[in-house]
Structure 1
Amino acid sequence: MQMAFIHAPMDGSMIHVSWSGSACFFRLQDRAWSVPYEGNPIRFPSKGEVLVYPGNRPDLQMGGELYFAWGPNAFSCGNGNLSGNHVMTIVEGLDRLEEFGIKVHIDGHQETKLELMD
């Protein structure tokens, strides 16, 4: 899948997903609206898997997001269940992902810069 919706680098906040369990998200606003669902969108990502949710269903969510699983989770929001396209898997630093997720959960949003590497 093309990651053209990521205009690197992007600054924003990593926020705990209060409805989903052990995961965080980075809000994309309307940047991912054009991303179509692939054949098998995921609702239960594994630790380190990153999903993109287009956010083109305003009745369910406030814009798109990148969803980062750091432990047991089920992708959802206050209005119901969600699913997203698997776009990448965190490999380097996976051993520190849970620590980061807990920090976001306990301390609140963490300022984050996202950029694609070659």
Structure 2
Amino acid sequence: MIEKIRITAAGFTFVAHTHPDAPQTVAAFKKLLPYKQQLIHVRWSGEGVWVPLGDWSPGLAYENHTSHPSVGDILFYPGGYSETEIILAYGGCSFSSKMGQLAGNHFLTVVEGREHLAAMGKKILWQGAQDVLFEVID
């Protein structure tokens, strides 16, 4: 079942759909909702923003994983070689860390507000960390 998630970030609002090929990741993420944190710009991955989750381990395996998210794809990296994180591609992105290439579970896709993703990403790049809120839309 595809569910809608509202993402409010850096003064922009987006709607994302859950991905049916990542049911365990979606279920683990939904337990966090509503989830408020800060988005920061990626360091090695190109045009993306991320939420570092540190050493938290949700106990997930890879499902529907990729290293090359498209614009609007949101990945959940369950930890291992680098810290657990959520990454959102707003442009050309190759998911990496200082340890090298990573793959994350593609569990959300932005379907509304995509035209504002680049502006959000550039705002975070030039102005620094910005608040983000993920919540289920009923």
TM-score range, shorter chain: 0.7 to 0.9
Q: Does 1:54 align with 2:90?
A: no
CA distance in 2: counterparts of 1:32 and 1:99, whole angstroms: 31
Structure 2 residues not aligned, in runs of 5+: 1-22
RMSD of aligned C-alpha atoms?
1.5
CA distance in 2: counterparts of 1:74 and 1:84, whole angstroms: 11
User: Which of 83, 98, 111 in structure 1 is aligned with 2:118?
Assistant: 98
Deviations 1:78-117 (A, max 9, x none): 1111001110110111000110011111111101111232
CA contact (8 A) 1:12 1:27 kept: no
Structure 1 residues not aligned, in runs of 5+: none
**Per the alignment, in what secondary structure is the counterpart of residue 103 of structure 1?**
helix
CA distance in 2: counterparts of 1:95 and 1:36, whole angstroms: 32
**Per the alignment, in what secondary structure is the counterpart of residue 18 of structure 1?**
coil
Higher helix residue share: 2
User: Which of 14, 18, 37 in structure 1 is aligned with 2:39?
Assistant: 14
Equivalent in the alignment of 1:107: 127
Query: Cα offset for 1:29?
Result: 3.5
Identity %: 37
Query: Cα offset for 1:27?
Result: 2.3
Q: Normalization by structure 1: what TM-score?
A: 0.87
Higher strand residue share: 2
**Per the alignment, in what secondary structure is the counterpart of residue 136 of structure 2?**
coil
